[in-house]
Structure formats: structure tokens, C-alpha cells
Structure 1
């Protein structure tokens, strides 16, 4: 999940020890302590990637890989701060195995460059060897989260000047079974976003306007959802 780091660098924190359980591909818990692995970003739990022309559940696989590394084992986590969700940001290890680095090196997480360049080399190695997600194509987890946020809710504002509304689409005989399948959605931040079939969260997006072409959507003041 998206992490806004609130560093506690000036306050020395003792290492956390204990038997761990995995949450998703970049989070775990030790007792009552929730830990977010610092410097890495794994796919969202329900995220899918593509490999060999087929979709696969890379988010669930990442969670499974982390579980294999840490579940039921003694884990040491060295805190570096707290994130916006109240989780401890930490570098974790099992014995001599660096858990954060291993997840990136296996290709089931990427280096979270926004917060650290510590695991960039591990990511480049995974990419070169086509390990994990790098064996095919995928959307960056941060972009998947951003697209999901853009799709939630509607912002108050104007009516698009050239929008092909759902009502107009029905009256003209156009529908999602035809050519008018582009969904326009207005976010709470006032952003006007359109989503194409096949994009992350297309099915979950509530269409406030329907367009037949990207040109129509752009002319109405919408921009394409940002996905990798």
C-alpha cells in the first residue's frame, strides 16, 4: 500500500524480534506490531500481472513468497520510522537473509525509489534475469493505487461540454456491448479521468460519462488514467 514516511530517525528504536506472519507482499506482523517493509513496494494483493499472454495473480503470489520467507520463523525488524497507517517501517531479516532485498531480488516487489534507493540493484538484477513480475508485464503498484483512488467517488463540478452521457449512449443505441465503452469518472480531488477496457480497476470504476473514442473524452476535459 501507498506509504507516506514519517521518519523517526531522531528517536532510536530497538529492534523488534518475534515469530512473524505475512500480510501481503510487503507487510507482516510480529505479535501486535504491524510492519511495512521499508524501501520496497509489492503488487497489491488483488493485482494481476501478465506473463506469456496470460494474466496471473502476482499480488497473491508476492504475499505467498513473503509468507514462505517469514511465517512461523524468528524475524528481526530494525525500525526506521512510522508510515501514515501507523505501521512500523523496517528492514527485516531471517537469520542472514535480508527479507526486503530478497523480495525485490526474486521479482515480487520493486525498489520504492520514492523513499529509498537501497534496493535498486536488486531490482535491476531481477529485471535482467526476468524473475517474478519481470517475466512479463505489470503495472507499478503505486500506479495501481493511484488509479484506484482516482476511480473512487465523484468531484463536484461542471458538466462536460461534449460528453456522451450514459443516457445519450442508450438513446443512440450505443452501449458497452458496442463501441462506447470508455468510462469517464470525476475524482474527489476534482480530476477528470477516463478508463479504457483492460485498464486496472476498469470494471470497478463507476461511469459518470461514457465515450466512444478517446478524442471525445479528451475534448470533454478528461485525461487518460495513468497506468504503466
Structure 2
């Protein structure tokens, strides 16, 4: 007797169509074999066909598989709306540990801890460690709130985080040149990156390699310090020009100060602490680096009190 072949869905006991087949063209008229397609109702599965496992396992197996699907779908949805809050431990320039969970900051990519860049004079420095240390200083003693957007391949919570429920940590890192916008996943910080590049902040003061390229070349054993590609953003439109102009006048740690009145540059050079007024020669060429103690001042008296003197140029 030839045994008919059944579909994979019949063998596994999962089909939405209830059918009945009769095999009547047999040499022995008295013998009738009735085959029932399996019935699936909700999470209950049954079949009168031989199964590749004990019949009593059919319902638990179907229930288990259905539960797995539910857990995966609901788990992803739950992760996307999860909130992590509390003090943060900095792992590197774009990774934190908050509430006992690893957090990968969304929309940006910072130099790796072992990565080196070169400054404006061509001298190498540990830009990855500098990004990490800057982030540690920013978050020290502060409460961090992270909104989870999903998980990456390493199981980290990809999140957009703020410090003290106000400042966007990712925006701060990118606009100060401690990280670049991660265009592969988001364009959220592209404008902030353009500002950092225009003002020569952080890694934009000298040469650096895009972190993703550096990681890839590390695997191949050929990572080097190199100039950013020409395709990196430059400020071209009036909107970004306005953003850059505003950033030039912002005082570090005092964002509420008037951008028009606080435009005195407190520069530090071999000549000492020199202040530059907008009317002074060379004012536009002076770059302020708050990392080395340089400052913006609102008036001459304030600058003098802090130890700066007027330029003789």
C-alpha cells in the first residue's frame, strides 16, 4: 500500500483548514482509512496523524512556540519604551552603565578608548580617552535619564539620554567635538557636528579617523590616524551659519548669558592671559578652547578680575 505524502504543516500539526480525506480505491474494500488534517484552535493543536514526537507533547510544543513569538514581539516593544534613570558609570565616549544596564548612546559615535588622533600641530593624543574623560566630568554627581529606543547586536540599550532631565548628552558630545554624528543610524546630530567642525572643537581641531573605519581597520591590523574624508559636513546654508555664530558667543557653563554682550575672548598663549575684544585686530582668528582654561567674558572688568589683560596689538 502506498502511503500518501503529507505537507510539513500537517506533520507538525498546524493547519488552519479542517479537511477529511477518504482512501477508497484499495484492493480490500472492507478497509477504509480516514485521515484528519490537524486542527489548530488558538494555542491548542491536535492531530490524528503520527507525529515526530509523543502525542502528548503536541499542545505544549505549540504553546511554547506561540509564547516565544509573543515574548519576542512584546519584549522589543517593551524595550523601546523602557526608561533607565540614575547615576551613570562611563564605559567609553558613547557607552554608559545606568541602573545596572549597558546603554549605547543613540545617533553618535565616539573615538574608541585605544584610538589616537592628532591635534592642530600634528601631535598625537589619546582622543578616545579624552572623550571618555570629558563625559565622566559632565556626568559626575548628576542623574541621567535614558529613553531606550531598542537594542544593538551586543544587547546594549540604544538610548537617547539627558543629564538632570535637561541637556541632551548626545548633542553635548557631538557639538563639542567628542563624537561624530552616526549617519548610518540617525541624522539627529548632523547640525551639531557641523557646528563643532566649523568652530574647530575637540577632534575637529586636527586630524582623526572616523571611529567605525578605525574599528574596521583594527580588525585588519591597519588602523592609522588620518584626516576626515572630504564628505564630512561643512556649513553651507544660512541656518547653520546662524547656529555657528551663536555657539561662538555662548559662555561655557552660563548658557543664559547674552550672546551679544559676552563676546570678549579670554585667550591663553605664551604671552599670558590676553583678552580680545571684537574691535581688536586678529579677533576673528582667535579660537577659544575651554578645555585649557580659556573663557568668554561679558565685559572688560570681568576679564581683568579673572586675570586677563587687554592685547597691545
Class of the TM-score when normalised by the shorter of the 2 chains: 0.5 to 0.7
CA distance in 2, matches of 1:17, 1:126: 28
Runs (4+) off by over 2 Å = 8-12
TM normalised by structure 1 equals 0.62
Q: Say whether the 8 Å CA contact 2:85–2:99 is kept in structure 1.
A: no
Unaligned stretches of 5+ residues in structure 2? 1-74, 230-313
Q: CA deviation at 1:10?
A: 4.1
Q: CA deviation at 1:150?
A: 2.1
Q: CA deviation at 1:9?
A: 6.9
1:9–1:126: structure 2 CA closer, same or farther, 3 Å change rule? Answer: farther
Corresponding residue for residue 82 of structure 1: 151
1:9–1:118: structure 2 CA closer, same or farther, 3 Å change rule? Answer: farther
Q: Pick the structure with more helix per residue.
A: 2
CA distance in 2, matches of 1:63, 1:32: 19
What RMSD in Å do the two structures reach over aligned CA positions? 1.8
Corresponding residue for residue 73 of structure 1: 142
TM normalised by structure 2 equals 0.46
Corresponding residue for residue 131 of structure 1: 201
CA distance in 2, matches of 1:9, 1:55: 42
Corresponding residue for residue 224 of structure 2: 200
User: Which structure has the bigger radius of gyration?
Assistant: 2
Does 2:211 correspond to 1:141? yes
Aligned residues: 150
Q: CA deviation at 1:53?
A: 1.5
1:9–1:116: structure 2 CA closer, same or farther, 3 Å change rule? Answer: farther
Q: Bigger relative contact order, structure 1 or 2, given CA contacts below 8 A and separation 6+?
A: 1
Corresponding residue for residue 85 of structure 2: 17
Unaligned stretches of 5+ residues in structure 1? 1-7, 152-194, 202-226
